[in-house]
Structure 1
Amino acid sequence: MEQNQMPQPGPGLCGSDREIFERVWGRVTRSGGAESPIEPVPAAEWPHAPQYIQGYMPQVTAPEPAPVPAMPAPVQPEPSPAPEPRRAEAADIRCLGPSSAVHGAELQAFIEDELGDHRTYTALSRRTAGQASRTFASMAADEKRHAKRLSAAYFLISGVRYWPADRAPVRLEGTYLSTLRSRFLGEQKGEAEYRAAAGRTEDPCLRELYLELAEDENAHGWMLRGMLEKM
């Protein structure tokens, strides 16, 4: 076979394309390929290289993600020891405790007033008869009971028993009617004093006692008014 035999153009060449092919091939055979118009193209620039193919996406291997360090476990604080219960002091006792000692002189005065009213109503009971005598005797018993309740409160607060010595019976002066009027005003005064003392104290038990005694004084006033209205 002849070395420089011209290859046959493909069947697809015709007209001017066939003439161009024959002219180029002639130049190649005369120069031995030195003046070949055909230059080799690096493989990276081939038209059929992957990066020149439309729609081709090279496969890129993603790097392995770096390992995420584990978070250290939260440190649980050690539970603090429970505080020891505080022992109650004597000053913390609000109900008839040492903190109510500021009412000592007030309690003594109330005790003496109640015992004085007890003696007055006892004398009136002896001076009268029938229903009036019984009414005064009942009121006298109430006043002595008031004095005992107040004396018990004083003892719980101070630790000292306060009870004045018995005194001589009260001598009634003036008329019977004037005595009833005086006692009616005295009972209202006693009620007002107990209510005022209840408003001043922070001792809940002493406040309750004062308010109860105030109600009894109010009842005595109505009893005396009723006796006058029947005369």
Structure 2
Amino acid sequence: MDTEQTVEQKRAIWQRVNPTLQPYPAEADAVNVCCMGVNAREDVEVIQGFIEEELADRRSYLACAGMAPNAAARQVMRRLAAEEGGHARKLMGVYYLVTGQVYCPAVSGGCEKCPGSWRELLRLRYHQESCGGLNYRRAGDETTDECLGEIFSELSKDEYRHARQVLGLLEKLIPIQ
């Protein structure tokens, strides 16, 4: 890590090379111009909403894994739950970078309810995952923070991948005549 004196020396050298160049923004300026700074603060409520959605998806996958017709399907559901939890952790890290505060998720009000059938559960999860992908893509397009936009884009791709995995489970239930 550079000391303040070293940063000042580097800044002085750069001033001799090109007086208009500021390669080392002052500490206060760095928060305003770098990733997860002022621009990302406009998206704090969006980040909070995504954290809550990811945690709800995790709970849903865990609660409904017992409905799976076989061990392989249960394993997919548990893996999806773990990935949704990973998304929530990533977003909580983003929240901390933007706000300097630890996000405390809302506590679930009770047990997750599963639809009546495995097929209906997969239908519901498919639509929720694909909508999640769309919502992340839109948020990525709308944010003015480049790094946050990249994270939203990455999460969008993950959600669409989840939707394809759920579709794969559903395909196995459809008989071919």
Do they fold alike, i.e. is TM over 0.5?
yes
> In structure 1, what is the equivalent of residue 146 of structure 2?
204
> In structure 2, what is the equivalent of residue 134 of structure 1?
75
Report the Cα distance in structure 2 between the residues aligned to 1:139 and 1:163, rounded to whole angstroms: 22
Instruction: Confirm whether residue 161 of structure 1 aligns to residue 102 of structure 2.
Output: yes
Find the partner of 2:50 among 86, 96, 110: 110
TM-score by length of 1: 0.60
Find the partner of 1:147 among 85, 88, 92: 88
Report the Cα distance in structure 1 between the residues aligned to 2:64 and 2:55, rounded to whole angstroms: 14
Letter in 1 for 2:131: K
Higher share in helix: 2
* Structure 1 position 107, deviation (Å): 0.4
Q: Deviations over 1:119-164 (max 9, x none)?
A: 0111122332410000000000000000110111011101111131
SS of the equivalent of 2:34 reads coil
| Higher relative contact order structure (alpha carbons within 8 Å, sequence separation ≥ 6) | 2
Query: How many residue pairs align between the two structures?
Result: 151
Letter in 1 for 2:133: E
Percent identity of equivalent pairs: 33
Report the Cα distance in structure 1 between the residues aligned to 2:143 and 2:46, rounded to whole angstroms: 11
> In structure 1, what is the equivalent of residue 123 of structure 2?
181
* Structure 1 position 208, deviation (Å): 0.9
> In structure 1, what is the equivalent of residue 8 of structure 2?
none
- The 8 Å contact of residues 94 and 202 in structure 1, kept in 2 or not, is answered as no
Find the partner of 2:26 among 82, 87, 90: 87
Q: CA RMSD in A?
A: 2.0
- Runs of at least 4 residues of structure 1 off by over 4 A? 81-86
- The 8 Å contact of residues 133 and 156 in structure 2, kept in 1 or not, is answered as yes
Report the Cα distance in structure 2 between the residues aligned to 1:186 and 1:171, rounded to whole angstroms: 15
**Which blocks of at least 5 consecutive residues in structure 1 are unaligned?**
1-80
Report the Cα distance in structure 1 between the residues aligned to 2:44 and 2:132, rounded to whole angstroms: 18
**Which blocks of at least 5 consecutive residues in structure 2 are unaligned?**
1-14
